[in-house]
Structure formats: C-alpha cells, structure tokens
Chains A and B, each alone.
Chain A
Amino acid sequence: MSRGARLAIAALAALVAFTGGAPARADETAPSKARFRAVAIELEVGDEGLAAYQVELVVRSGDASIVGVEGGTAAGFSSPPYYDPAALRAGRIVLAAFNTKVSLKEGRHRVAVVHLREAGPSPEYALEVVAAAAPDGERVQVRAFWVDAKGVKP
C-alpha cells in the first residue's frame, strides 16, 4: 500500500471516530414524542339561561392537532356537538350545539370535550365564543373556559 493510501485511510478513520462514532444527543435525532390529552370546554351561563352555543378553538402555536370530539356532561348537551370532520387532524375547529327542549341554567356547564395530539413544547390555544342563545332564541353573552389536568385556562 502506498504512503498516500495509508494517509487517506487514517484520515477517514479519524473522521469517523470524531463524528459518526460519537454518541448523538437525543434531542438532535429523536423525533418529538407525541402525547394525547383531553380538554373539556365549559361555558359560564348567565341568568338568561343557555340553549345554543357555538365556539371556535384554534391552535395558535406549537405542534398540535384535534383528533376527537365528545359531548359534555351538561344535561341536554351530552351528545357530540356539530363540527366539520375536516377539523380533525387540523389546528382549528368550530363546535356548535343546541337543544330546544332542555336549557342550561345559570352557572358553569361542561358542554364538550376535545381530544388533542400534541408534540414538542406546549402548544398555545385560543378559545372563543362565536354565538350563544337563550331558550327564547335571543343572543346572550357567555364565557368559555377549558379545563385540563393542569387546571383552568380561560
């Protein structure tokens, strides 16, 4: 083997030892581990009562998508609300439900549960009330909250 060839092999071996041979840091190569969580959407209803609502949930930042929707625990609102199936696996969803027979009295009521898939740093969300109506059909103001294992976030 010529001297040049030996030098080339030695240089290649040194390069491999310096880079590929060294253990890689986990956060450089491992994909972010996905996690799932459910958040409950609650509405704070005034003395007019509530018979219809529409809210919009948007992923403002981070890696998150909506993977499922359930009804809430409030009487008359335990069935899944209306939503666009295209919202699943997306970062925005509009939920709506109403009941002509049963209305929610003053207080705080859980009307829906949204299942989320998250990855990486904690995503940020925005929850907005689009419309709400009293049993007589009149538009009313309500406040929306979501609740997860970490507590209440307006």
Chain B
Amino acid sequence: MSDHPTILELELHRAGEADPGVGAHVASCAQCRAELDLLERLAGDQRPAIGAFEPGAPFDGAMASLARDHAARVHAELAAAGSRGAPLRRLAPWAAAAAGIAIVAAAGALWRGGLWSAAPAFEVPAGIARADDVNRDGRVDVLDAFALARALDAGGGRPVWDVNRDGAVDEGDVDAVALAAVSLGGGGR
C-alpha cells in the first residue's frame, strides 16, 4: 500500500490544516509536491470566480472536519484493501484535479447557502468576512494590517491574505490592507 498522503490530506495540508506528518512527507516527496502544486493552481483558478472569499471560523472548521473524516474513511478503505492483498492504486493526477475542483466548488456552494440550507450542521455567518478583515472583527482597520504584518514576521501567511492578488502574501498585502483601512471611500466598515 502506498505511504503517500491522500489527495484530501494534501488539500488539508494546502489549507494549513493537515497533521504535521503530511507536511514532512510532502517536503521529501517530489510526487506529492507536484500534486500539491496542482491543487494550488486549481485553487488559484477558482479564486476569480469566487472572489475574495474568506469563510468564518465555524464554516472553516466544519469543512476541515468533513475533509478529515473523509480522509479517515479513505485510509480505512485503503488499509482494508491492503489486508486483502489488493492495494488500491494512488489517485491519478486527473482525479486529484477533480477532487480539488470538487472541494473548492463545494466551498463556493456552501458559501452561497446552496447546500445544507435546510438543516445546517453549523451556523453560516450572516456576513462573509472580507479577505482584508484579517482579525475577523467585522471591520477593516489598522489592526488588520498590524495582524498581517505580525503573521508575516512570524513566518506565517495564509493564501487568502493575498489581498492585492499578486500571487504572494507579503508587505504589499500589508500596505493594501492599511490603505483600505484609511480609505475615505469606505474601504473599512
């Protein structure tokens, strides 16, 4: 049976939610890094369609929980297949692409309230947080720029904080958030 992480574990790793062991494996596995790059590109392609979408913490947590559960089931199936002497083949790249698209599309559908609207397992926030509302307090002010600058100093930086859409999370995004905060045109709220 393959020791590679599943595509969902790779997606969790891309979102910063995976177990540390996944990151260690990816760091030493060129094949997994290639698939991770593919997921990143797919997610990047979806961003223009979805916009500066930043789910609230409950939403984010629920999605991560679903993905973890699914990954656990896949692991169990792989283990069962391995014990029967018929190891499952690793997902092909096109399957990885499809899974990535499905995850992003599902997130977008959930964002629009299209799924689970009858009996939500969690409460979708009334207002989706803006990407530049880094500290999720419902408004954009200097504290958001400060929080992002501190995160960058600490070596962090989530892809969703690419506020200026230049493909990198850096000082340019800090400036973009700060300028939104002081904008007289209603940049903050």
- On A, residues with C-beta under 8 Å from B are 51-54, 81-84, 86-87, 90, 92-98, 100, 130-131, 133, 137, 139
Whether the pair A94, B184 counts as a contact (CB closer than 8 A) is: yes
Given A100-B149, A100-B153, does the pair A137, B143 have CB atoms closer than 8 Å? yes
Name B154's closest neighbour in chain A (CB-CB).
Answer: A100
- Majority secondary structure of chain A interface residues (helix, strand, loop or mixed): strand
- On B, residues with C-beta under 8 Å from A are 135, 141-143, 145-147, 149-150, 153, 175, 178-179, 181-185, 187
Across-interface contacts of A86 in B (CB, < 8 A): 184-185
Complex-state Cα separation, A54 to B140, whole angstroms: 11
Q: Which of A52, A96, A133, A139 contacts B182 (CB 8 A)?
A: A96
Q: Which of B147, B181, B183 contacts A137 (CB 8 A)?
A: B147
Pairs A-B, 5 closest by C-beta atoms: A96-B142, A54-B142, A52-B146, A94-B182, A98-B146
Whether the pair B146, A133 counts as a contact (CB closer than 8 A) is: yes
Across-interface contacts of A87 in B (CB, < 8 A): 184
Across-interface contacts of B147 in A (CB, < 8 A): 137
Name A135's closest neighbour in chain B (CB-CB).
Answer: B150
Report 22 cross-chain contacts, Cβ distance below 8 Å, ordered by A residue.
Answer: A54-B141, A54-B143, A54-B182, A82-B178, A82-B179, A82-B181, A84-B182, A84-B185, A84-B187, A87-B184, A94-B181, A94-B182, A94-B184, A96-B141, A96-B182, A98-B142, A100-B146, A131-B141, A131-B142, A137-B135, A137-B150, A139-B143
